[in-house]
Amino acid sequence: MQWPPRVRSVASIAGLVVLAPLLGGCSALYPPNAATDQGADIRNLYTVFLVPMVAIFLLVEGLILWSVIRYRRRKGDEELPVQTHGNNLLEVTWTVLPTLLVLALFFVSWQTLNKVDAESKPELTVDVTGFQWQWTFAYPQYGLSYTGIGDQGPVLVLPVDEVVHVRLHSHDVIHSFYVPDFLFKRDVIPGQVNNFDLTLKDAGVTYSGQCAQLCGMDHYQMRFTVRTMTPADFQAWVQAEQTKTRATPTPPPGGSVAGPTLQLSASNTTNFDQSSLTASAGQPFTVVLTNKTAGAPHNFAIRDSSGKVRFTGLPLAQPGQTVSYAVPALPAGTYTFFCSVHPNMQGTLTVK
Amino acid sequence: MATTVLAPGATRIYQRSALYEWLTTTDHKKIGILYLTNSFLFFLLAGLLALVIRSELAVPGLQFVNSSTYNQLFTMHGTTMIFLVLMPFLAGLGNYAVPLQIGAADMAFPRINALSFWMLPLGGILMFSGFFFGGAAAEGWTSYSPLAQAKYSGSGTDLWIVALLLIGTSSILGSINFLATIFKLRAPGMTLLRMPIFVWTVMVTSLLILLATPVFTSGVFMLYIDRNFGGAFFDPASGGNPILWQNLFWFFGHPEVYILILPAMGVISEVVPVFSRKPIFGYKAFIFATLLIGGLGFSVWAHHMFTTGAVYLPFFSLMTSLIGVPTGIKFFNWIATMWRGKITFATPMLFALGFLTTFLVGGLDGAILASPPVDYALHDTYWIVAHIHFVFFGGTMFGVFAAAYYWFPKMFGARLDEGLGKVHFVLMLIGTWLTFFPMHLLGLEGMPRRIADYSPAAGWTDLNTIATIGSFVIAISVLPFMWNVFVTLRGPRDAGDDPWDAYTLEWATTSPPPPYNFDHLPPIRSERPLFDLKYGHGARRALPAASLATADEGAH
Amino acid sequence: MAAQVQALPAPAHGEQRGIDTALVGMLLFIASEIMFFAGLFGAYFNIRAEHTVWPPQGFELDLGLAAVLTVILVSSSFTMQYAVSRIRKGDRTGMVRAMTVTVILGVVFLLGQAYDYATLGFGISSGVYGTLFFTMTGFHGAHVLGGVIGMSIVLLRGLSGQFSARHHTAVEAVSLYWHFVDVVWIGLFSTLYLLR
């Protein structure tokens, strides 16, 4: 079938317009290659949306540019142009066509949504807890738990090719679990457990993630890393970690590790039982924390007057536990001690 | 001339000091100018905050402020720009133009009008005073709970709440005033379907404010009760629900987006026809689209909450997709208005073209976000920051500047300098794209919003540096505008009544208009009464008659 | 040309067609108030939907007192409407009498609510139910107080003879507001006391 030349040129222009974003020069307009099966679906869907949007962009900008150049008023031209008030056919066309387009896009997007949000029988369940301003990654079926320290946060080790079920918990404010390479985030909301499934594709890769929902002062430092392994390596890693955990002796209850000992206890999640502590400057000391709160872990951490965290005590003291934290020597000054899990629990640490 | 002759004493000006006059005025034109001036001052303030934010982000590392101050900066920048700059800018334009455009002598409730205005600087000062009382609000302009609860935030948040109660009340009273004015004070012949598009957009906007803002007010009261009286609305530990705040906030917050864009669209719909020398293409379709946006605007709020796992995604996704259609209709109408017109490029038209070319991006990158799975990737990243700024800066601010250049001769009787205006436009357009376009790419690369710092290893440095340079270009672009206003106000007031050969009633009176607005009105037989007067009603082609080019025969 | 020029439009404060501008303003204001209470009711139902036991244990309301107060407030709407109908007929004395009764009923309602607050076994900070109860009834009470103040002003103006059959916009406006306050209470009573 022979198309008339005019139609062909229109079609080829339209084709160019549609293909343009797919060309190499526009690759910056794409998110990273997805690390998960779900992310790959999202990336495909992004393309489905991006192409018509870029086409509309070029069409509309082109029409504006054309009107501005073609219909500029020439010098000395005083005559009024034809006073067109409208055109029903045109107006119906540019109402109906966009409606059809957005409906089509909506249905495609709905399909993908069902795939991305689908939950199947997981091979591994991970509990992610976000708190100001750290993460805890726990593997309930293996009895392993990791809470991050420092501005790089904890590492979440995950197997590839297996369905991983992630449960999100918060005890304070809203956070958001976000890994750019997953093309995915989900809010971590107190009083509500959010879930999602993910299936990773490539082993031996690390992905960085961070909190995406403003959660207070150190929100920008609430980072973490995801490391992938083959299922076999992952099982080996789990066994090694379990062995290590068993080998680690439980902290001596109240025993002095270094320097003088300070007693601290917590009976609720609002404040410590002691509101102030005093230590000697330039000398390490030990803080013995007794957690008398039912249902919430605590720890002992120190930040200086500028808000910088100087010490984070780990492991967390689980309910009913007593844990000793060896604190390195601090210069003289006034510090704030707090609980990393409940940063609103604060007291004054005077070092002199 | 059948001009009404006024009593000799009627035009004598009662002598008062200018300051007293401005502080106590109930004249809608003066109040409009007060709104615009106040908004511009807060615009400079919020712009300075933005420059600190951008400087901090230019390269990795905390160079200028700590993270706690940074959170205050973007919170105050966002809140100020939305509640003390864009909303009052548009309210000011509406105040100035709406009574003139419908041929009324003033607003329906002039004293309430003055009250609405004076609540704004008071609210602004309260909000900013937080910086001197242990830190301003720092939870973002969305102020999500529990972060905004007393446990996690300081007294700046209480000041933020009180300020927003004041500003919210101000805009509710303002919207009542606009609606009563438009319903009751239209000149004879000014039927609803002959009102200028700008008046239509102000009317729909006022309806949105009237119905959306009180819900926000109730939410803000609940937050205040939670913080100060041991309430538990948003506290899950005592049986409350943090998602409730998000629902209340966005039930207002999304109509708010249309509150901030519709009047700017109205301005564009005034400017584009005048400078294309054609009527608006599809007047009724335009109104239909405006109403549709207003109506759908109430059914899309949860698209800000796609990642919470607490809303029904398909419904809000569908509604959000559909709301793109009326905006598309408007774009095609504007282009068809220019089509086969005779376009001149005075500064108002340049800003209108800037609006069209830039706001378009904000519409399209938003349409992509209507898809929940894509939103999973892009939500709370710099893509959102890019989107909101293409809409509000590339859209609303360009519309505001188009209006400023367009109505300035009416307000002060003198036209702003075209040369300086073009410098302002070119710099602002370049600055806008340079600042905000790279943010799309940062969002795609995964840079979350509201972070004080990022790692050098993240690979976000180059784009951030570009955005920072762009923000300074925007800042510089405002200088020729300020200089322009300064020199023009010192120069001769020789603009004439109708410098743009425009269509609507405000150009049928003197520049500036007398306190009572009109000595006489042309007959109103279409949405372009002044065009009908100059070129004949229903003219399709006509030569301008020199004797009809101005309508100031009756002016004194 | 001269023939096309019309006289000045009607000034803002003169005689107008249709409904009075001030009443339009009051109706719009009531619309915004409805949305304000819609926010509170929305919060109530949102939080209620999250709880299996509602109201939570230990929250007892005084249904009898509330029922009496409801009767009082609803009757005051009738006396208010009677005041409006009197002034429409130009009967100033009748209006003043009916308005006085309405103000008294409003005050009695407020006193009853104060008694209720003082005798309830919980407060605004005793969990989310207390917060909801006191916030919703409290904001309604504040509106009743506003209505009582508004009616008192209208009453004083009525006593000084400022209203007539033709000029009584303030009476109409305050009656619209009072009916609105009444309707909100019926909504509150049904939600908090009857539906539980």
Rounded to an integer, what distance in angstroms lies between the CA atom of residue B398 and that of residue A289?
59
* C142 at B interface, C-beta within 8 A: no
pLDDT at B459 over 50: yes
The pLDDT of residue A345 is 77
Which among B279, B368, B448 has CB closest to A49? B368
By the 10 Å C-beta count (0-12 exposed, 13-18 middle, 19+ buried), B384 is classed as buried
Task: Output the average pLDDT for chain C.
Answer: 90
Residue of A nearest to B147 (CA): A173
Q: Who's near A18: CB < 8 A, 6+ residues apart?
A: A51, A55
Task: Output the average pLDDT for chain B.
Answer: 92
CATH number at C158 reads: 1.20.120.80
The pLDDT of residue A152 is 82
Q: Is residue C25 part of a domain?
A: no
| CA dihedral over B364, B370, B371, B372, signed as positive or negative | positive
- Peptide bond just before B146 cis, omega within 30 deg: yes
* B179 at C interface, C-beta within 8 A: yes
* B211 at C interface, C-beta within 8 A: yes
Q: Is residue C50 part of a domain?
A: no
- Please tell me whether residues A277 and A319 are part of one structural domain: yes
- Please tell me whether residues A272 and A313 are part of one structural domain: yes
Higher-pLDDT residue of C194, B551 = C194
Q: Is residue C15 part of a domain?
A: no
- In the complex, which subunits touch A with 3 or more CB pairs below 8 angstroms? B
pLDDT tens, position by position, B417-452: 999 999 999 999 999 999 999 999 999 999 999 999
CATH number at A273 reads: 2.60.40.420
The pLDDT of residue A11 is 58
Q: Which structural domain range is residue C145 located in?
A: 34-43+61-195
Q: Is residue A79 part of a domain?
A: no
Q: How confident is the model at residue A254 (pLDDT cuts 50, 70, 90)?
A: very low
State how far residue B2 is from chain C, nearest Cα, in angstroms. Answer: 6
Q: Is residue C135 part of a domain?
A: yes
CB B100 within 8 A of CB B505: yes
Q: Is residue A230 part of a domain?
A: yes
Q: What tokens appear for C53 in the block? A: 């036991």
pLDDT at B378 over 80: yes
User: What total of structural domains would you count in chain A?
Assistant: 3
Q: Which structural domain range is residue A20 located in?
A: 12-69+88-116
pLDDT tens, position by position, C146-175: 999 999 999 999 999 999 999 999 999 999
* Count of all residues that appear for chain A in the document: 352
The pLDDT of residue B6 is 54
Q: What domains can you pick out in chain B, each with its CATH number?
A: 29-548 (1.20.210.10)
Q: Is residue A6 part of a domain?
A: no
Rounded to an integer, what distance in angstroms lies between the CA atom of residue B303 and that of residue B512?
45
Q: What percentage of chain C has pLDDT greater than the value 90?
A: 80
Q: How confident is the model at residue C3 (pLDDT cuts 50, 70, 90)?
A: very low
- In the complex, which subunits touch C with 3 or more CB pairs below 8 angstroms? B
Q: What tokens appear for B204 in the block? A: 């729909």
The pLDDT of residue A270 is 63
- Please tell me whether residues A140 and A218 are part of one structural domain: yes
Distances (CA, A) of B271 to B351, B403, B406: 9, 8, 7
pLDDT at B24 over 60: yes
CB A320 within 8 A of CB A266: no
pLDDT at B110 over 80: yes
Q: Is residue A3 part of a domain?
A: no
Residue from C36, C57, C188 whose CB has the most chain B CBs within 10 Å, to mutate: C36
The pLDDT of residue A250 is 55
Please state the ipTM of this predicted complex: 0.91
Q: Is residue C187 part of a domain?
A: yes
The pLDDT of residue A4 is 56
- Please tell me whether residues A178 and A94 are part of one structural domain: no
Q: How confident is the model at residue A67 (pLDDT cuts 50, 70, 90)?
A: very high
The pLDDT of residue A13 is 58
The pLDDT of residue B281 is 96
Q: Is residue C4 part of a domain?
A: no
- Please tell me whether residues A18 and A41 are part of one structural domain: yes
User: C188: how many CB neighbours lie within 10 A of its CB?
Assistant: 21
State how far residue B99 is from chain C, nearest Cα, in angstroms. Answer: 11
The pLDDT of residue A16 is 53
Q: Name the amino acid, one letter, at C146.
A: G
Which among C12, C31, C56 has CB closest to B104? C12
Sequence-ordered strand ranges (E) for B280-362: none
Nearest to A307 by CA among A210, A218, A194: A218
The pLDDT of residue B552 is 41
* C52 at B interface, C-beta within 8 A: no
- What does the pLDDT average to over B107-123? 96
Q: Is residue C91 part of a domain?
A: yes
User: A23: how many CB neighbours lie within 10 A of its CB?
Assistant: 9
Q: Which of A184, A218, A247 delimits the end of a domain?
A: A247
Q: Which residues of B touch C122 (CB under 8 A)?
A: none
pLDDT tens, position by position, B137-172: 999 999 998 999 998 888 999 999 999 999 999 999
User: B308: how many CB neighbours lie within 10 A of its CB?
Assistant: 22
Q: How confident is the model at residue A298 (pLDDT cuts 50, 70, 90)?
A: confident
The pLDDT of residue A62 is 96
CB B102 within 8 A of CB B182: yes
Could you report how far apart the first and last alpha carbons of chain B are, in Å?
Answer: 13
Rounded to an integer, what distance in angstroms lies between the CA atom of residue C120 and that of residue C114?
10
The pLDDT of residue A320 is 80
Residue of B nearest to A98 (CA): B325
Rounded to an integer, what distance in angstroms lies between the CA atom of residue A230 and that of residue A124?
13
Q: Is residue A80 part of a domain?
A: no
Q: Is residue C7 part of a domain?
A: no
Q: What tokens appear for A348 in the block? A: 């004054």
Rounded to an integer, what distance in angstroms lies between the CA atom of residue A63 and that of residue A124?
54
The pLDDT of residue B554 is 38
Q: Is residue A1 part of a domain?
A: no
pLDDT at A92 over 70: yes
Q: Do B444 and A30 touch (CB under 8 A)?
A: yes
Q: Which residues of C touch B232 (CB under 8 A)?
A: 125, 127-128, 130-131
CB A237 within 8 A of CB A229: yes
User: What total of structural domains would you count in chain C?
Assistant: 1
The pLDDT of residue A147 is 82
Q: How confident is the model at residue A258 (pLDDT cuts 50, 70, 90)?
A: low
The pLDDT of residue B518 is 95
By the 10 Å C-beta count (0-12 exposed, 13-18 middle, 19+ buried), B302 is classed as buried
- Please tell me whether residues A190 and A302 are part of one structural domain: no
Q: How confident is the model at residue A181 (pLDDT cuts 50, 70, 90)?
A: very high
Phi then psi dihedrals of residue B281, to 5 deg:
-80, 125
Which ranges constitute the DSSP H helices of chain A?
A: 5-19, 37-70, 88-116, 231-247
pLDDT at C116 over 90: yes
The pLDDT of residue A344 is 63
State how far residue B276 is from chain A, nearest Cα, in angstroms. Answer: 8
Phi then psi dihedrals of residue C119, to 5 deg:
-105, -10
Q: How confident is the model at residue B200 (pLDDT cuts 50, 70, 90)?
A: very high
